[in-house]
Amino acid sequence: DSIEKGGYEHFMLKEIFEQPRSILDSMRGRLELVAGHLNMGGIRAYERKFMNADRIIIVACGTSWHAGLVAEYLLEDLARIPVEVEYASEFRYRNPVITERDIVIAISQSGETADTLAAIELAKSKGATIFGICNVVGSSIARATDAGAYTHAGPEIGVASTKAFTAQVTVLTILAMIVGHKRGTLSDTRLQELMVELGSIPAKVEKALLLNDEIELIAETFKDVPNFLYLGRGYNFPVALEGALKLKEISYIHAEGYPAAEMKHGPIALIDENMPVVVIATKDSSYEKVVSNIQEVKARKGRIIAVVTEGDTVIPPMAEFVIEVPATSEVLVPLVSVVPLQLLSYHIAVLRGCNVDQPRNLAKSVTVE
């Protein structure tokens, strides 16, 4: 067991630290920087379908659903195809409108989630094309789809998903870039820029992992609080949801992720001097707006933990703790900004004495309804 953990105290920590490698593995053979192009074997036969798709419906559960939300931003932004992201469990019972011109992307680490599998069968029966993004090779979902791409993140043992998420987002990014380029919505120049930036992500994740000790100290401060709020906008909104989910899953602290601007329609009522608010506030198109959201939290004495881009000088004076991550393109930011949130939940859970790798009541793969 200790050998398998490679010297780490828990599988989850090992898997968090494996991400520079697992992200690289998920790009292998797909991102060809020297030749200047992208490949994805799984979509080759379905390129025309993607070109003509009326919309893409993404079905998934849990963390994979969060990767799906990131993909909604990516596919609409880069490929200009309307996207809907659905909880597989809702989709399958809703009598959804599905046509032969729809593409359904099913995302699943295990490839065995019962609701996701049932959603696929339903969409198939209506004639949609099903594309799978799975980690486990030969899994039921991988076999049930028309085509797909494996994430190649390697076995994930910790119940709380970490490296599978970043691998899913990497694969979905490559997919959105390929489809956007083919559809002509992503220019050659922008494609090349994004490819170079994607190639630098493993090194940036490596750098974000150096924050580990700093984050452990932050965890010390907050380990006994009963609630947490996570806020983000744009590409960082799904990251806020994922950060909150990670904390709930393994530390049993109640946490909510919210789009920062929606805070005023509810969660703001919860903010007082006891409420920690993690704000993901990297330098991107919504930066100024997120800064105003931070001011709103501060005015109510909320305790701000801000994830910012390296070199930010505006936010640090407003925050109790600042976590600096390397700068990257807005569309790739979730791959970097999620890392400190994974570490924060990990350290809080360890300090609370929780069973990090096997949290109570949760299963790694949910093969029943």
Q: Closest approach of Cβ 366 to ligand G6P, in Å? A: 5
Least distance between ligand G6P and beta carbon 305 (Å): 23
Start-to-end C-alpha separation, the chain: 31
Nearer to ligand G6P, 113 or 236 (CB): 113
Min dist CB 111 to ligand G6P, Å, is 7
**From residue 127, how far is each of 75, 130, 230 by CA, in Å?**
22, 9, 39
The rounded distance, in Å, linking the Cα atoms of 322 and 307 is: 6
Q: Which is nearer to ligand G6P, 190 or 364 (CB)?
A: 364
CB 96 within 8 A of CB 144: no
Of positions 42, 62, 238, 302, contacts ligand G6P by CB under 6 A:
62
- Based on the residue annotation, tell me whether 364 is a catalytic residue of this protein: yes
Which of 162, 337, 316 lies closest to 247 in space, CA to CA? 162
- Lookup: tokens for 29: 């053979």
Among 19, 89, 108, 166, binds ligand G6P (CB under 6 A): 108
Q: How far apart are CA 316 and CA 307, in angstroms?
A: 10
The answer to whether 146 touches 106, Cβ cutoff 8 Å, is no
Catalytic residue among 207, 223, 289, 364: 364
Amino acid in the structure at residue 34 = V
In terms of C-beta distances under 8 Å and separation of at least 24 residues, what long-range contacts does 45-51 make, across chains too?
Answer: 45/147, 46/103, 46/129, 46/131, 46/146, 46/147, 47/182, 49/103, 49/129, 50/79, 50/81, 50/103, 50/179, 50/182, 50/183, 51/179, 51/182, 51/183
Q: Minimum CB separation from ligand G6P for residue 57, in Å?
A: 16
Give the whole-angstrom CA distance, residue 91 versus residue 326: 37
345 contacts ligand G6P (rule: CB under 6 A): no
Please, which residue, 156 or 324, has the CB nearer to ligand G6P?
156
Binding span for ligand G6P by CB under 6 A among 29-37, 103-111, 183-191, 304-312: 103-111
* Closest separation in Å from C-beta 327 to ligand G6P: 28
Binding-site string for ligand G6P from residue 161 to residue 200, where x marks contact by CB under 6 A and - marks none: x---------------------------------------
Interface pick for ligand G6P out of 109, 282, 286, 293 (rule CB under 6 A)? 109
Which residue is nearest to ligand G6P, using beta carbons?
62
**Residue ranges that bind ligand G6P, judged by CB under 6 A:** 61-64, 108-110, 113, 116, 159-161, 362, 364-366
Residues carrying an active site annotation: 364
